[in-house]
Amino acid sequence: AGYWTYDPGFKVTAPVESEITYIDGDKGELLHRGYPIDQLAENAEYLEVCYALLHGDLPNAEQKEDFYKKVREHTGVHDQLRKFFEGFRRDAHPMAIMVGVVGALSAFYHDNLDVTDEKQREITAIRLISKMPTIAAMSYKYTKGEPFMYPRNDFSYAENFLYMMFATPADTDYKVDPVLVRAMDKIFTLHADHEQNASTSTVRLTASTGANPYACIAAGIVALWGPSHGGANEAVLQMLDEIGTVENVDEFMEKVKRKEVKLMGFGHRVYKNFDPRAKVMKETCDEVLGALGINDPKLELAMKLEKIALEDEYFVKRNLYPNVDFYSGIILKAIGIPTSMFTVIFALARTSGWISHLLEMHSAPFKIGRPRQLYTGETKRDFVKVEDRK
């Protein structure tokens, strides 16, 4: 035993001070730099939100132009980096490829970040935000066995991403539907940051050792991958596939209540009320499906699950509400994104949050993250030679 606090899962521990994002879990409120998430999702572009996360406020017109220009300048990846993709099997999960390739950026930008140099701080953030859509789309193209598409710097951030995903060398005139571009951009905004979640805490912890910032982002991608965190968006669609039709919902819910499975896309460590991102996501889902004229039975299934869960005692008693991942998969599917890319898109968007937190931490004196433990093993005993061991 020690004098420290035992807090498994860090339920009541705040190891950092931060000015970036505020969450009131009881009210279901999420603010980035003071701005409510629904206002940002409705009115701002993702890159403006990135700027705000990094710099403390939304950019004015001049700052916006300058920031966008810089992001456009860094969308390409080094030719040598392209070779990394070829080392993977075609059936690799794109998240596995992302972990490797983003980690490999540390070999291209290997100088340790001089945290006192504003220019180095900025270029690190810009490079990451610029290159993530390129690397994400390349991961997809590789698993499909299709050639990589070079970024189109005359396109917006979301449009360029969708272009690199879906255009082919035979169809470079490929036009991305503006409804889908707007929806994609909103999805990026809704995932941009969420204070000290598991992946952001991982990025902070790794960065607290002074490790290369690109490698720290790779660590964040790993932490995000699990189904309790960013992997939930993929798991929601798998769950909907498994349930199949509305008739099977009641039986599925019984399994959830017997704790045999979880209702994926529900529940949150901090929100004990509606996740405000889920609200915007649901509206966006209706807009996109409406605009595309899609009648997706998965949406009907999801709405039925949500309705039952919001009224059922099991969920009510535990304050379980839909989270950001509940409806995002249905929109992503409507956009044409395959399920295996859902968490990659989360990672792409969360990169702005990760790097903002890393830079915030490095902008003031900080300590290496080093928790303690409650030791529950053997007490001190003498060494036993192998021939004397039982």
Nearer to ligand CMC, 158 or 324 (CB): 324
228 binds ligand CMC (CB under 6 A): yes
Does the annotation mark 32 as catalytic?
no
Tokens of 312: 């059922």
202 binds ligand CMC (CB under 6 A): no
**Exactly one of 23, 181, 207, 263 binds ligand CMC (CB under 6 A); which one?**
263
The residue range among 48-56, 201-209, 294-302, 320-328 that interacts with ligand CMC, by the rule CB under 6 A, is: 320-328
268 binds ligand CMC (CB under 6 A): yes
72 binds ligand CMC (CB under 6 A): no
Could you tell me the smallest distance in angstroms from the CB atom of residue 262 to ligand CMC? Answer: 4
323 binds ligand CMC (CB under 6 A): yes
Could you tell me the smallest distance in angstroms from the CB atom of residue 260 to ligand CMC? Answer: 10
Contact 68, 50 (CB under 8 A): no
**Exactly one of 265, 276, 329, 353 binds ligand CMC (CB under 6 A); which one?**
265
Q: What are 297-304's contacts with CB under 8 Å, separation 24+?
A: 297/245, 297/246, 298/237, 298/240, 298/330, 298/333, 299/330, 300/246, 301/240, 301/243, 301/245, 301/246, 301/249, 302/236, 302/240, 302/326, 302/327, 302/330, 304/246, 304/249
**Exactly one of 162, 237, 320, 344 binds ligand CMC (CB under 6 A); which one?**
320
**Exactly one of 55, 78, 269, 304 binds ligand CMC (CB under 6 A); which one?**
269
**Exactly one of 216, 221, 264, 330 binds ligand CMC (CB under 6 A); which one?**
264
| H or E, element range at 190 | helix 178-191
In 3-state terms, what secondary structure has residue 88? coil
Question: How far is residue 324's CA from residue 266's CA, in Å, rounded to a whole number?
Answer: 9
Q: Give the count of beta carbons closer than 10 Å to the beta carbon of residue 177.
A: 15
Question: How far is residue 369's CA from residue 25's CA, in Å, rounded to a whole number?
Answer: 25
The residue range among 32-40, 96-104, 264-272, 285-293 that interacts with ligand CMC, by the rule CB under 6 A, is: 264-272
Does the annotation mark 325 as catalytic?
yes
327 binds ligand CMC (CB under 6 A): no
Contact 68, 156 (CB under 8 A): no
Residue from 268, 275, 357, 362 carrying the catalytic annotation? 268
Contact 1, 374 (CB under 8 A): yes
Full strand arrangement of the beta sheet holding 29-32: 21-24, 29-32, 35-36
The footprint of ligand CMC (CB under 6 A) covers: 9, 197, 228-230, 232, 256, 259, 262-269, 318, 320, 323-325
Which positions are annotated as active-site residues?
Answer: 268, 325
